[in-house]
A and B are shown apart, each in its own frame.
Chain A
Amino acid sequence: MPMTSYYYFTEQPYTGYNPDLQAQYPALRLTLPNTNYDPRLASDLYNRYHDEYQVADEVGFDGIMINEHHTAPFCMQASINITGTVLAKITRRSKILMLGNPLPVVDNPLRLAEELSMIDCISRGRLISGFVRGGGVESLANNINPVYNRERFEEAHDLIVAAWTRPGPFRWDGKHFQYRVVNPWALPLQKPHPPIMVPGTASPETVIWAARHRYPYVVLGSSLEQTKELIAIYQETAKEEGYEMQPEHIGYLIRVFVSDSAEKAQAEGHNFFWQKGALNKQIREWMAPPGYATVDVAGIRRLRAISKAFDNQAYQEAQDNYQLILGTPDQVIEKLRYVRDLLGVGHMCLWSHDGYMSHEDTVRCIELMGKEVLPALRAA
């Protein structure tokens, strides 16, 4: 049994629009008119999601995973650092797992280093600072040239780590970022710096990059087969780098909903499909603009196949394939244990809220997780 940490996750969906609207637009991104967004409802939702995070913190999750997307109704977090800051103040013990800041779309990584340092200090060292490349559409939404996505990701990462660890002042003369003086008066509490993690779904390049840096790689809900392939790439790369991959190097995000009755869980599970297949509608030019990935056609195709996989699966099939776990505590414990041990992951992110699930049902799910599921998983 691997020593595994368990994290609560919700995308913080904005549910106040009619999903049928998506039929009129190329995708649920970028050009879906924001006239369908009601800030009054958003205010309620933000605060409700924060209340649920507090429950997760109190019932014993090891951490809370948060994320960031732009021009996307399925995720209300336009700034992961704002959610992170809120968590730093309203939770007491959970790690704040950011998966993650999309580095390529950031124009001032030094400010990002400062903000993350503040969050680490305010939370008294609870930050896990994940970094992501972000899908191509995030670059379009922020008007950052997708051609430079990987270069900007890597340089921003190098700069942030330098800002955290190298005594200032020093100069930074990069290709994409230049600073006369790097000398932030906001440094992380954790030394040498907060843990860094990297999530992904398909790109072998990203797995290799993470393994070379010995950063944990978190697979975001890809099929178990695909996930095993990605883990194998990590393992090979680790060997080349002269170390053995450990469970702590791998994480997995999985959709799971727990309820007092199996019937209730089955009914609520449909909320994971609340966008009615919208994830399928990913036009190539938005998901993987020319130049976004090296011209690795197979890789891009694979990415697309994976992003489609979940929505395409029939409800029961998704459960049979462990893409979706629903049930009473006893039912989900068994399945989660199977996935954890099959993959040997040291980080399990439990995606336990989506769509129109009520606050009460979500809180009950989180409580059952904390009181029954997590203790059982920790015991065996």
Chain B
Amino acid sequence: MTTSTGHFTETMVEVAQTQLYLLNGGTGSPLLVLHGVEGHEGWLSVHEALAQQATVYAPAHPGFAQTERPPWIETVAHQALFYHWFLQESGLQGIDLIGVGVGGWIAAQMAVMCQATLRHLILVDAAGVRPRQGEVADIFIIPWREMVERSLYDAKHCAEAERIYTAAPLQEFGGMREAGRSMAMRMCYRPYMYDPALLPTLGKIRVPTLVVWGAQDQIIPIDCGHLYQQAIPGAALRVIDRCGHWAHFEQPQTLAEIIREFIAA
């Protein structure tokens, strides 16, 4: 399949008796990108940029978009288990795992569970830990449209967001994003956006880890980035300036460059 933003293949893969919606493109070592609460927004600029030197896998989490939720998946830990199941079935090894927002939480949870198949871990503005200062913005009581705007440093000049939300405008009710919004609420409602068992177990991770944060993230305080960096042995933190919570929308080239550098190092 070809779109204006690049070349990729669209498939449904059976995992745990569930049809997983998966886009993949590029050549090179496997790189799995896990989306956040915004949902699966198709083949993104950041995927295309990363696909220059890797085989990018971009699935829609169970409960989001085209992937149905099997009844047992209710939490982030369940998602992590599901993706380990996917890795097992696909036979992929030496994976570079990237997660943004709640996808970062899933990725961190996966690394805590089992890192045998992982080569690098990259967490971008990741949810999952409770900040010492400030609060994670309550995206469940902020109107969704406002949440989208607040997730960007400069909402008026974000080409990727403009493309996505022009191609498929936000709907107040229903639409393709409704299921994912419900799924996010199912997983992240209480405790809100963190798992008290995650931070104390991050020390188990031995995979080289990079934490990336938007300097102007108004959704998840950068303190969470510091917490991740301090808790994961040897982890580094990179901050992208002029960038909000959605680095993958707002600074896709910079983000891809930082990731490529980290993987190559």
Contact = CB atoms under 8 A, between A and B. Distances in A.
Interface of A: 26, 30-31, 140, 143, 145-147, 283-286, 288-291, 295, 297, 300-301
B114 interface: no
20 contacts: A26-B143, A31-B141, A143-B190, A145-B185, A145-B186, A145-B189, A145-B190, A284-B144, A284-B173, A285-B142, A285-B144, A286-B141, A290-B178, A291-B181, A295-B178, A295-B179, A297-B173, A297-B175, A300-B173, A300-B174
Contacts of A284: 143-144, 172-173
Interface string B136-162: 000011111000000000000000000
Given A290-B181, A295-B174, A301-B173, A283 B186 contact: no
Contacts of B179: 295
Contacts of B173: 284, 288, 297, 300-301
A289 B178 CA distance: 10
A30 B141 CA distance: 10
Contact of A147 (B143, B172, B174, B186): B186
A144 to B, nearest CB: 8
A295 B189 CA distance: 19
Nearest to A297: B174
Contacts of B189: 143, 145-147
B18 interface: no
Contacts of A297: 173-175, 178
Contacts of B178: 290, 295, 297
Given A295-B178, A295-B179, A297-B174, A290 B143 contact: no
A56 B39 CA distance: 54
B182 interface: yes
Interface of B: 140-144, 172-175, 178-179, 181-186, 189-190
A285 B140 contact: yes
B231 to A, nearest CB: 27
A335 B259 CA distance: 72
A297 B175 CA distance: 9
B190 A290 contact: no
Contacts of B181: 290-291
Given A291-B181, A301-B173, A285 B143 contact: yes
A359 B249 CA distance: 59
A352 to B, nearest CB: 34
B185 A146 contact: yes
A290 B141 contact: no
Contacts of B184: 290
A289 B140 contact: yes
Contacts of A143: 189-190
B176 to A, nearest CB: 11
B141 A147 contact: no
Nearest to B192: A143
Contacts of A26: 143
B185 A147 contact: yes
A289 B179 CA distance: 11
A284 B144 CA distance: 9
A300 B172 CA distance: 11
A58 to B, nearest CB: 44
Nearest to A31: B141
The list of the 4 closest CB pairs from A to B, nearest first, reads: A291-B182, A297-B174, A290-B181, A290-B182
A313 to B, nearest CB: 23
Question: Which of B174, B189, B190 gathers the greatest number of chain A CB atoms within 10 Å?
Answer: B189
Contact of B186 (A30, A140, A288, A291): A291
Given A295-B174, A297-B173, A301-B173, A147 B144 contact: no
A286 B143 CA distance: 9
A238 B22 CA distance: 45
A287 to B, nearest CB: 10
B185 A289 contact: yes
Contact of A291 (B172, B174, B185): B185
A26 to B, nearest CB: 8
Contacts of B186: 145, 147, 291
Nearest to B184: A290
B194 to A, nearest CB: 15
A32 to B, nearest CB: 13
A293 B218 CA distance: 29
B183 to A, nearest CB: 8
A140 B141 contact: yes
A301 B178 CA distance: 14
Question: Which of A26, A143, A289, A290 gathers the greatest number of chain B CB atoms within 10 Å?
Answer: A290
A143 B181 CA distance: 17
Nearest to A139: B189
A140 B192 CA distance: 12
Contacts of B172: 284
A145 B185 CA distance: 7
Given A295-B174, A297-B174, A140 B140 contact: yes
Given A31-B141, A286-B141, A290-B182, 8 more contacts: A26-B143, A140-B140, A140-B141, A285-B142, A289-B140, A295-B179, A295-B182, A297-B178
A30 B144 CA distance: 17
B265 to A, nearest CB: 40
A290 B185 contact: yes
A289 B189 CA distance: 12
Contacts of A30: 141
B145 to A, nearest CB: 10
Contacts of A286: 141
